[in-house]
Amino acid sequence: MMEAEIFKALADPTRRAIFEKLAGGRMNATALREGMAISQPAMSQHLAALRAAGLVREERQGRFVNYEVDPEGLGSIGRWLGKYRAYWPKRMDDLKRLLKDMDQ
Amino acid sequence: MMEAEIFKALADPTRRAIFEKLAGGRMNATALREGMAISQPAMSQHLAALRAAGLVREERQGRFVNYEVDPEGLGSIGRWLGKYRAYWPKRMDDLKRLLKDMDQ
DNA sequence: GAATCAGATAAGTATCTGCTTATATGTCCT
DNA sequence: AGGACATATAAGCAGATACTTATCTGATTC
């Protein structure tokens, strides 16, 4: 359902980098910026896009906002991928099990 | 490696629709256009983007070009998804098997 | 309460993207 | 060879996107 936003969010290399960084552990926006040559507003906007896509979720903690990977987004991609299992390369055969479950 | 092009290709709803249509079976560009309110050049451009992303491949056949889903692209997405298996929702647990294989 | 800090939002702008029309390439048919 | 057909490419343009600077909100600390 939210594929549009998910794929659009991941289409941007900066956003993929942010996501990857978050996969290393929850982090606030300022920490995320470290070593990333990105302005504060830009980071905020990227995080908003990732959040809207369901790829990331936030948890306010005082004046900090901690972000972390949201499994929901990954699940959506998995479900999307599943629709095309007929075309998966052999290496992905095991994925078929997943699909069976996800189809209910 | 080609994540950039893959996600950018899938970010467009028209291209996702084309891909989905192709998942129903190989088809030439003209057949793909049927019922799709899309001009011939636009279709050609979309197919070029999907091809560049490795999501689709072509096979010339006389004056027709048949397109079909390319498992390579799906494999790339699977590999990308795999990097974040630590965050997969439970429903996707079986996917872990796949990953083990893909990591060699 | 005032200064400070984390983050979000607003508005403007340059670049990118997907479309269009026009034209080119290549194949088939008679 | 000439015309019709399938597709690709070129050039131009309107709308989308990612950035910038400036400002705002809310929480902490003194």
Span B41-99, pLDDT tens digits: 999 999 999 999 999 999 999 999 999 999 999 999 998 998 898 898 877 755 555 54
A2 touches chain B (CB under 8 A): no
Whether the pLDDT of residue B104 is over 50: the answer is no
Residues of A in Cβ contact (< 8 Å) with B8: 11
Nucleotide closest in space to B12 (CA vs C1'): C18
Distance CA B70, CA B19 (A): 10
Residue closest to sugar C1' of D10 by CA: B41
Cα angle B58, A83, B88; round to 5 = 120
Stated pTM of the model: 0.89
Q: By C-alpha distance, which of A9, A12, A13, A31 is closest to A22?
A: A31
> What single DSSP character describes residue B58?
E
Residues of A in Cβ contact (< 8 Å) with B70: 87
pLDDT for position A85: 86
Residues 6 or more apart from A63 whose CB is under 8 A from it? none
- Please answer yes or no on whether B88 and A95 come within 8 Å at the CB atom: no
pLDDT for position B17: 98
Residues 6 or more apart from A57 whose CB is under 8 A from it? A51, A67, A68, A70, A72
> Residue A45 CA to nucleotide D20 C1', Å?
13
Q: Which helix (H) or strand (E) holds B14?
A: helix B13-23
Whether the pLDDT of residue A14 is over 60: the answer is yes
> Residue B17 CA to nucleotide C28 C1', Å?
30
